[in-house]
Structure 1
Amino acid sequence: MCPLPDYSPKQLSLGPLEAEILEIIWELGAVTVKDVHDRILADPNRELAYTSVTTVLRRLTEKGWLACDKKAKAFYWRPLVTKQQAQVIKAHDQLHRFLAVGNPDVVAAFVDSLDQTSLEKLQAIAKRVQAARQAREEK
């Protein structure tokens, strides 16, 4: 996993169509509305208006997920974070929300209900946190 990026979108929540279009953009890179529309309509069971794709691209731009650049007569949308960075940002946000519960008994009860594999992951995380703290102190 990569470290927490310096940039984070203004709004992390995404609707299903927003998430789908963002996945397409991560796969293709800089795209036009037509690129995204064609990709979605490649599925014969899908119908989606061209204007709906435009609306979603604008919404993702407003939320801070995409940037829009004009080249010649076309607009191109590109991601401002990679898929991996997005996963890190969302995980960081979820962890903060979980810890915001503030009641150690609730957190402990949650941890107590985990299976062995999850407990081992938590122990590995705790070891990494401790090692990172020691490395900072040594600097």
Structure 2
Amino acid sequence: MAPATTLTPQELAIMKVVWRLGTATVREVHDVLRRERRDDLAYTTVLTMMRILEQKGMLGKDADADSRAHRYRPLRTQRQMMRVLVREFVDRVFDGAADSLVAHLVADRKLSASDRAEIRKLLDKED
């Protein structure tokens, strides 16, 4: 069975912290999330979520030589994961039609002038 790629909002928040830190213990992730999100996220919740991410094949874990804690490391880069998540979103919401996503963003006026200029540059690069 292939590892699950869809991430819950909490799992994605944890992955963003681990990507930013490079490697992290549960305590380090918990501290960052509590500081940044200012909520009462329990340490055990973060521990459970990181174990789930390990089972999903998103995180690997090694024993930390300096403590009894494990250090988690991402098994996929942020760029790889974002590519997968965006593709899943486009497939699920827009039946695989990326042009429909862009048309929706343009119609909703969600693209600024600089966003449109950046997209034009990216499209010109592909030619």
TM class by shorter chain equals 0.5 to 0.7
The total of aligned residue pairs comes to 110
Counterpart of 1:62 (choices 21, 41, 55) is: 55
Q: Does 1:74 align with 2:69?
A: yes
Structure 1 position 99, deviation (Å): 5.6
Whichever residue aligns with residue 52 of structure 1, its letter is: T
Whichever residue aligns with residue 41 of structure 1, its letter is: R
Q: How does 1:32-43 map to 2 (within 5 A)?
A: 32-43=25-36
Q: How does 1:117-136 map to 2 (within 5 A)?
A: 124=123, 128=126
Structure 1 position 74, deviation (Å): 2.0
Aligned counterpart, 1:29:
22
Distance 2:86 2:9 in 1: 18
In percent, how many aligned pairs have the same letter?
32
- Match of 1:64, SS state, is coil
Distance 2:12 2:90 in 1: 21
Structure 2 runs not aligned, ≥5 long: 108-115
Aligned counterpart, 1:88:
83
Whichever residue aligns with residue 9 of structure 2, its letter is: P
Structure 1 position 89, deviation (Å): 2.3
Structure 1 position 95, deviation (Å): 5.3
Structure 1 position 82, deviation (Å): 1.2
Structure 1 position 18, deviation (Å): 0.8
- Match of 2:24, SS state, is coil
When the two chains are superposed, the root-mean-square deviation of aligned CA atoms in Å is 3.4
Distance 1:44 1:82 in 2: 23
Whichever residue aligns with residue 29 of structure 2, its letter is: V
Counterpart of 1:16 (choices 2, 9, 30) is: 9
- Match of 2:17, SS state, is helix
Post-superposition CA distance 1:27-86 (Å, at most 9, x none): 111100110111122248311111111001001111111111113322011101111111
